[in-house]
Amino acid sequence: MTIPTEPIGSIPRPPELLDMLRRYRSGDASSEQLSEAYDAALQDTIRRFEATGSPVITDGEQRKSSFATYPLEGLPNIASDGVVIPFEDGHSRQLPRLTAGPFRYRNHAVEYLRAALPYAHVPVKQAVISASALSLIYPQEGLAGYRREDFLNDLVHEVSQDIRRCLEAGAYCVQIDFTEGRLAVKLDPTKALLRQFIDLNNRVLERFGPEQRKRIGVHTCPGGDQDSTHSADVDYAELLPDLFRLEAGNFYVQLASEQEPRRVLSIIQRCLKPDQRVFVGVIDVIDSKVETPQTVCDRVRLAAEYIPPDQLGTTDDCGFSPFEDDTSTGRDTAFAKIQARVQGTQMAAETV
């Protein structure tokens, strides 16, 4: 049988692109030079992605400065002093803050997809940010003349359009990044915040028919930035039952770096619905050691003890560089890990 395997999204940017970005932002390079650097990075990423044998690729998020905030860059009604997300190693990331309504996207994910498709020879998936993550940009004190309810209505429309445009433009599938799911439990152990997030994301998913939702998935992990996480200490049992209430066809679940994979798999087994597929993480993106195909194969076989083979897929635990300045994983290492995932999944498919 065949076990599908897909990446999550980001690939570390080439040093040449990072250098050009520094030069551009300091005024030492033109927008034309930056555009050329982006295009060179994109072409190299796709070439190396396809060389791994991956049956599905992404653009590596080479043109995104952040997986979470790409829709907001360039908006006039955004400030930089939003919610702070602390990571276990002491560093943090800060979200923007909305300063006035109405809320509209400045950039759409379909722009990245359209740039990648002409260079690709295999299907391309596209990652988008979730409505729940972007809901955090609305200030707690509210905004004069722009109610939170109106913001959420605008947000649901914008996120659903982001997904729909990608599907219509030829994306193999669309992945909603929901890394804040586990974090929500950490911020609010009552899980009220998590359930608000689930309900909000379902408002987006409800705008798509059953066939479209087969091409839409949700990714969850405890964050992965500069070899650190923000919520790995949260018990997966507190997230997964609510996660699988999402009306999506596919779920991409970080698992390779979990301490008790059998326990997590048993929870997935209880929660997974017949019309859902789960792509289990078989590559630990934080560990610098490259997995062998045999290690991946063993992880797939373990997952197959709990998940029906026709509902099983494999993936990486997270993107390798969700923020452009994250160079904690080398570009060569990322592609070597992807190749191991592809080969190990193929090995397992011959035996399960």
pLDDT band at 352 (very low <50, low <70, confident <90, very high): confident
State residue 140's pLDDT score.
94
Both tokens of residue 195?
């359930």
**Domain for residue 9, yes or no?**
no
Over residues 124-130, mean pLDDT: 98
State residue 42's pLDDT score.
98
Over residues 160-181, mean pLDDT: 97
**Domain for residue 5, yes or no?**
no
**Domain for residue 338, yes or no?**
yes
**Domain for residue 3, yes or no?**
no
Residue 283 CA, chain-centre distance (Å), reads: 15
State residue 223's pLDDT score.
87
Over residues 193-221, mean pLDDT: 97
- For the stretch 63-92, pLDDT in tens is 999 998 999 999 999 999 999 998 988 898
Task: Give the domain range for residue 327.
Answer: 15-349
pLDDT band at 339 (very low <50, low <70, confident <90, very high): very high
Mean pLDDT of the residues in the chain: 96
Residue type, 174: V
Given a cut of 80, whether residue 1 has pLDDT beyond it is no
State residue 52's pLDDT score.
98
Query: What size, in residues, is the chain?
Result: 352
State residue 60's pLDDT score.
97
State residue 224's pLDDT score.
83
pLDDT band at 150 (very low <50, low <70, confident <90, very high): very high
**Domain for residue 90, yes or no?**
yes
Given a cut of 90, whether residue 207 has pLDDT beyond it is yes
Both tokens of residue 77?
């009604």
State residue 131's pLDDT score.
98
State residue 185's pLDDT score.
95
Mapped onto helix, strand or coil, the DSSP state of residue 43 is helix
User: Which has the minimum average pLDDT: 117-126, 212-221, 227-236?
Assistant: 227-236
Cβ atoms 182, 139 nearer than 8 A: no
Given a cut of 80, whether residue 154 has pLDDT beyond it is yes
pTM of the model: 0.96
State residue 227's pLDDT score.
84
Percent of the chain with pLDDT over 90: 93
Query: Domain count of the chain?
Result: 1
**Domain for residue 2, yes or no?**
no
State residue 57's pLDDT score.
98
pLDDT band at 17 (very low <50, low <70, confident <90, very high): very high
Over residues 33-49, mean pLDDT: 97
State residue 260's pLDDT score.
96
Given a cut of 90, whether residue 155 has pLDDT beyond it is yes
CATH of residue 258's domain is 3.20.20.210
Q: Which residues pair with 129 in a beta bridge?
A: 177
For residue 26, what are the contacts with CB-CB under 8 A and spacing of at least 6? none
Which residue has 């635990």 as its token pair?
317
**Domain for residue 273, yes or no?**
yes
- For the stretch 249-304, pLDDT in tens is 999 999 999 999 999 999 999 999 999 999 999 999 999 999 999 999 999 999 99
Given a cut of 80, whether residue 61 has pLDDT beyond it is yes
**Domain for residue 84, yes or no?**
yes
CA angle, corner 341, sides to 231 and 345, nearest 5? Answer: 115
Percent of the chain with pLDDT over 70: 100
Mapped onto helix, strand or coil, the DSSP state of residue 315 is strand
For residue 64, what are the contacts with CB-CB under 8 A and spacing of at least 6? 10, 70, 112, 324
Q: How far is CA 291 from CA 165, 213, 282, 344, in A?
A: 36, 32, 9, 9
State residue 33's pLDDT score.
97
Given a cut of 80, whether residue 346 has pLDDT beyond it is yes
State residue 98's pLDDT score.
98
